[in-house]
Structure 1
């Protein structure tokens, strides 16, 4: 076995264990889901048993991942540079692992609109994290304060708008493909979602 093969072997075993632990499953639980004995799974995780393709396929399914993701080694391009959207005062990053997902950083100074007709609704989901200051999330008839280091997740089919509360705030927004489409091509002021 070459060093490259040994490194991949070790990486796959670590991923299997990490995915199992992340799910909160014991060896017995994953073994049952993968139709393996707990001792066989333990030997796979600890490097005492050869990795077989059929077992990797079964383990990937049981761990709700793909074989490709389990054995992926291409981690060279882990840095994503922002695209600057000066017209809207935001930085955007496309997520490679989730095509269609976009991350956007925005500084807001204006409060959200008081007029419910100014709120928008469109397909998709959005997530936001307040990096500094306090944001106000208008969501339907609710007015929600989101403080520094707090996050909000919401379906964008609810009418919504985002603004600052009592001074500037900076947010990091994550948009799925549909939510991103709902924001493309807008000529909106920087304080609006």
Structure 2
């Protein structure tokens, strides 16, 4: 298998596990939804069993997502630097999006989780603008440092988490409808404006 295919295979397996955890499903519950055995699902998540297209279709349906979102790849242009406009030096970030987005101001006080199982995945697009300090964005197996006045845009189907690089930082989190819904489903335990974020 070529390197790019191997990377996508690993990413899809991360998403399957992250979505299962985000939905609050045990392996037993996902097995009941898919009619796969628990051991098969465990081997799929751990990379010990080959993934077939028909399995991905069943898993996507059981995890309340689509096949396209399950295999979506990240854009290389995650970090967005501002442009300065006008006599007063206004900062502008060019972001692609759609109407109906929500904005939440957050103060982050701790680093992102070191346990990949705590990273979250859900449909949608998310943006963050760092107002002060330095944020760390974990996106799949990549780690991004986002400094004050920088922004990041990423598909939330990638397992992700956000924290600080040391000192507390303040960010604006911007969510499209699907990402907001993913946060609302998860936020029975954690509100979107809490001190640390799983994204």
Q: TM-score band, normalised by the shorter chain?
A: 0.3 to 0.5
Greater relative contact order: 1 or 2 (C-alpha under 8 angstroms, separation 6 or more)? 2
Scaled by the length of structure 2, what TM-score is found? 0.46
Scaled by the length of structure 1, what TM-score is found? 0.47
